[in-house]
Homo-oligomer: A and B are copies of this chain.
Amino acid sequence: VSYITLTTDFGTHDWFVGTMKGVISRLAPRTQVIDLSHEIPAGAIRTGAFALTAAYSFFPKKTVHLAIVDPGVGTGRRAIGIETSNYFFVGPDNGLLSWAVASEGIKAVHSLDNGRYFLPQLSATFHGRDLFAPVAAHLSSGVPLRKMGRHLKEFNRLPWPEAKQSRHGIAGEILYIDRFGNGITNIPSHLLPSQAGRLKIVLRRRHVCPVAPSYNAVPPQCPLGVVGSSGFLEIAINGGNAAEVLKLRVGLPIEVRKSEPRTTRVPI
């Protein structure tokens, strides 16, 4: 069995994703297709890049991770395939794949320009069906990446917003808001000082919550910081929706500070 994952902004209301699976099933009948998400906001390359980064490593080796958030479809933007030590990544060359491959050993990057591996007709608007799905299917069937197009020395990378040491602690930002309203930050757990119980999170110059080991370590409906399942600090509310209550949005700066024992909690 081999696997292809899909991460797109196509939604599931239309026939787009199903059609890509049809194309894959014709070319690679033994390949299983697994949806990561089709609800990346339209054109939101960074959101797609983060979702792929959070999920890709839980799949079997040799899985082909196909990601399409592609506002430049139909222009001259390149399509690329990247082979790493463990996986293949396929998508437009707009940075979408760059965060996920950053911690993988990159073995080769190729332009996807060999039309022999596309559908016979290439539409102007749906390369997911006509180019990416067939290329991913051929890769999952064992066709070597080097046959798909010319070798590339460079590809486009998105800058990763590094968390930084600040005067009072660590300064970061919200990267992603999930379905529960949790705000995932760019602060990895290893940057947090070890005495997590004594850390507090500051948003819009106000202390809003402590860092705690789990949702239930604070009373119901209280906000907290917690190291989430992706290994990053998340801002959450025990039993509630932090994005709504705290007005979180992607890009919002946050700071983690050591908690002074005498700090007064400011109402939010």
In A4-46, the 8 Å CB interface with B consists of: 5, 7, 10-19, 21-23, 25-26, 29-30, 32, 34-39, 42-43
| Interface-central residue, A13, A73, A126, by most chain B CB under 10 Å | A13
In A229-251, the 8 Å CB interface with B consists of: 229, 234, 239
Give CA–CA (A32, B33) in the complex, Å.
Answer: 11
Contact present for A25 and B60 (CB under 8 Å): yes
Smallest CB separation, A81 vs chain B (Å): 20
Contact present for B15 and A54 (CB under 8 Å): yes
Binds B, one of A146-154, A161-169, A200-208, A211-219: A211-219
In A31-76, the 8 Å CB interface with B consists of: 32, 34-39, 42-43, 51-52, 54-55, 58-60, 63, 71-75
Known A3-B22, A13-B179; further 13 A-B contacts with Cβ < 8 A: A1-B25, A1-B29, A12-B12, A12-B35, A14-B179, A15-B36, A18-B35, A18-B37, A19-B55, A22-B55, A25-B32, A123-B227, A125-B215
The listed residue (B71, B72, B214, B226) touching A75 by CB distance below 8 A is: B214
Total number of A residues with any Cβ neighbor in B under 8 Å: 62
Q: What residue in chain B is nearest A10 (Cβ atoms)?
A: B179
* Interface pairs A-B: 8 shortest CB-CB: A74-B214, A126-B229, A11-B179, A18-B36, A15-B55, A22-B58, A22-B59, A13-B39
Interfacial chain B residues near A126, Cβ < 8 Å = 228-229
**Given A58-B26, A125-B214, are A51 and B14 neighbors across the interface (CB < 8 Å)?**
yes
Say yes or no for A180: interface residue by CB 8 A criterion: yes
Interfacial chain B residues near A21, Cβ < 8 Å = 34
Say yes or no for A130: interface residue by CB 8 A criterion: yes
Say yes or no for A124: interface residue by CB 8 A criterion: yes
Contact present for B58 and A129 (CB under 8 Å): yes
A: which residues have CB within 8 A of B? 1, 3, 5, 7, 10-19, 21-23, 25-26, 29-30, 32, 34-39, 42-43, 51-52, 54-55, 58-60, 63, 71-75, 123-126, 129-130, 178-180, 213-216, 226-229, 234, 239
Give CA–CA (A39, B3) in the complex, Å.
Answer: 25
The listed residue (B19, B34, B124, B234) touching A214 by CB distance below 8 A is: B124
Contact present for A30 and B1 (CB under 8 Å): yes
Interfacial chain B residues near A59, Cβ < 8 Å = 22, 25-26
Interfacial chain B residues near A71, Cβ < 8 Å = 239
Give CA–CA (A179, B18) in the complex, Å.
Answer: 14
Q: What residue in chain B is nearest A29 (Cβ atoms)?
A: B1
